[in-house]
Structure 1
Amino acid sequence: MSQVVTGGAGYIGGHLVDKLLDLGKEVISIDDLSFGNYINPKSRFFRTDLRVTFPKVEECDTVFHLAANPDVRTSMENIEDHFERDVKVSLNALEMARVSDCKFFIFFSSSTVYGEAPVPTSEDVETRPISNYGLFKLMGEQMVKFYSDNYGLKAVSLRLANITGGRVSHGVVIDFIKKLLRNPNELEILGNGKQRKSYLYVEDLIDAILLLQNKSIDKYNFYNVGNEDWITVEEIAQIVEDKMNLRPVHRYLDSGDGRGWKGDVRFMLLDISKIKALGWKPKLSSKEVVLRATEDALRLLNYAKS
């Protein structure tokens, strides 16, 4: 039975493809290479623009749907592109699962569906996204539930905290490193630095995904997947600076109310008791995640302290 990973050349998708192959699974990776170019040669790779078309998959077991535009900030500007890549692509991924008689569909949603909610935020909290990214992820969840209700597709949605580490190519850690490589004397920080969010290491996420694939028994359900603590942007900057042995001056770009950009959720901490009840919990704290992610990124860049 085939395991299908849309967005399989991307960050999380690439890690998931690797893990599934390590477990001896037959893996089909689908990607148009817009936001990643990682191709594991042991997988069957289809370069496909899911906005336009999708393959029919023989003997399909699970579709892991990750294909999307991952940039929350640009969703407030490039609205049509995000709609196509986040909503239209999700519809076509569901259609692929339906016509291929796939047994299970795992949708990768986001904590941004909640907007600025009370923390820690449980799955029972009303969803009120403040970015198009969060809005389109919520629309994806609704489509997944609709297909589950009307076409008998077993499905689950994962509302993710910030995922980092490994081959991560975007996010605050990478942003800070790139800025400091360009100018080691000054660090531009989006927002006021007091934003506080939860971070999960990518390997912990992969463990959660596999657990839900094996233990989720409901026709449709959704789970928060994140950490049990959080960390400020200033603390992240300090970790990166320590690892690079730099002491830059901080310059803040505040788009209003301490936000880094329009649609930025300033405070995010998920209640993960629902998935913990199934037997999963993160191995690393948010601070340990950021530290490990910084080390991973600097190692890939072959960065040596001066």
Structure 2
Amino acid sequence: MELQDARVLVTGGAGLVGSELARQLAPDNDVVVADDLSNGLRETVPEGVEFRQADLLDPADVAEVITEELDIVFHLAAANKYVNAEDTRGQFEANGELTMNVLERMDEVGVDRIAFTSSSTVYGEAPRPTPEDYAPLEPISVYGAAKLSEEALLSVYAHSHGFRVWNFRFANVVGPRFGAGVVPDFVEKLADDPETLTILGNGRQEKSYMHVEDCVAAMRHVVERADDAVNTYNLGSRTTTSVTRIADIVADEMGLDPDYEYTGGDRGWTGDVPKMRLSVEKLAALGFEPPGSSDEAVRRAARELVARVDRRDDLHPDRV
């Protein structure tokens, strides 16, 4: 699908990825952002982009933002895995309901193209690098289970309702926003205490990181070139970075030399996948080579966050 002169809805468009997506699409398209602002920030929505505060769990709000004039929906809105960490049932049910609301309304008004932000967590603890066709998919967190169930719903609408679907399984996406995630967490902690940094787990957890600008560029590339009924792509880098290495990078960018204290164990929290690297061969075969390394993405994000460290009044968990 050509993303040119299209009417585009970005749900969750006030979050890290959503706001960057709106920024990149806005020059050539008519972009609408819908967000309930429970995790996103209104001020990050680019100027010139139409904003509507909407709760996608409310059918009336869904009907207001999804109309027949749309050409495509980028569905990024989600019950955030950090905000709702203690309410796993609520998180699972909310994600499924809001996605079902979006799909039902799209079908009602004849909008049949949707791009969905899934997650590497659908794979669980899989061999690395993990390709898109790896099976069986065995997530170990409720967040991963919710994303996988939403992919299943999208598959139904692709095969039984004539939709075209793009699923994006993200690695760890980083960028210039305070909120959830290890990079902003370390910047915030070291700003508060430059001498000591507490690291969850043993620090040897090792994952792939991708800068948000590169992530969105990859999304746009895939939507414009992949045209199967269901198009599932991993988005990440070819390399990984350990948690301790992230601490080193953040400390270096802040000009600090803190002592590290580890909480112990091979993972940071229940449901954490300690080792993750996605195969990006399918993405590369479509003509998009992920730029830079995981370390470079982390350093770039850390530098951006350090530059904003005195503006921590905007701390807020991001949705992607």
Give the TM-score, by structure 1 length: 0.94
| CA distances 1:151-202 after superposition (whole Å, capped 9, x unpaired) | 1111111111000023353211100011111111110101110000000111
Aligned length: 299
Matched with 2:234 is 224
Note closer, same or farther for the CA distance 1:74–1:168 as it changes in structure 2 (3 Å cut).
Answer: closer
Letter aligned with residue 246 of structure 2: I
What residue in structure 1 maps to residue 111 of structure 2? 102
1:45 aligns with: 51
Match of 2:10 among 2, 5, 10: 5
Corresponding position: 1:19 with 2:24: yes
SS of residue matched to 1:200: strand
Amino acid at match of 1:139: S
Please list the CA deviations of residues 85-139 of structure 1 after superposition, one character each: whole Å capped at 9, or x if unmatched: 4221111121232223223110100000001101011112121100000000000
2:281 match: 273
Partner residue of 1:142 out of 140, 144, 152: 152
Secondary structure, counterpart of 1:133 in structure 2 = helix
CA deviation string 1:188-219 (max 9, x = no partner): 10111000000011111111111111101101
Work out the CA distance in 2 between the residues paired with 1:84 and 1:66. 16
| Partner of residue 271 from structure 2, selected from 263, 266, 280 | 263
CA contact (8 A) 1:161 1:198 kept: yes
8 Å CA contact retained: 1:2, 1:58: no
* 8 Å CA contact 1:9, 1:39 repeated in 2: yes
Contact 1:76 1:263 in 2 (8 A): no
Could you tell me how far 1:302 is from its partner in structure 2?
4.6
Alignment equivalent of 2:302, drawn from 285, 294, 301: 294
Deviation readout 1:46-104 (Å, 9 max, x if unpaired): 11110122023132111000001333x56552113312442211111212322232231
Match of 1:208 among 211, 218, 225: 218
Query: In the alignment, residue 14 of structure 1 is paired with which amino acid?
Result: S
Higher mean Cα deviation, 85-94 or 273-282? 85-94
Amino acid at match of 2:202: N
Aligned to 1:34: 38
Alignment RMSD: 1.5
User: Percent of counterpart pairs with the same letter?
Assistant: 40
Matched residue, 2:315: none
- Write the distance in 1 (CA, Å) between the matches of 2:48 and 2:216: 19
| Bigger RCO of structures 1 and 2 (CA < 8 A, at least 6 apart) | 2
Q: Distance in 2 between the 1:100 and 1:48 partners?
A: 18
Q: Is the 8 A contact 2:174 2:209 kept in 1?
A: yes
Q: Contact conserved, 1:76 with 1:132, CA < 8 A, in 2?
A: no
Given residue 264 of structure 1, which amino acid in structure 2 is its aligned partner?
D
Residue 57 of structure 1 aligns with which residue?
67
Q: Does 1:128 align with 2:133?
A: no
Q: Which runs of 5+ in 2 are unaligned?
A: 1-5, 312-320
- Show the counterpart of 1:77: 86
State the secondary structure of the residue aligned to 1:60. coil
Following TM superposition, the consecutive aligned residue runs of length 4 or more in structure 1 with deviations greater than 6 angstroms are none
Distance 1:145 1:167 in 2: 32
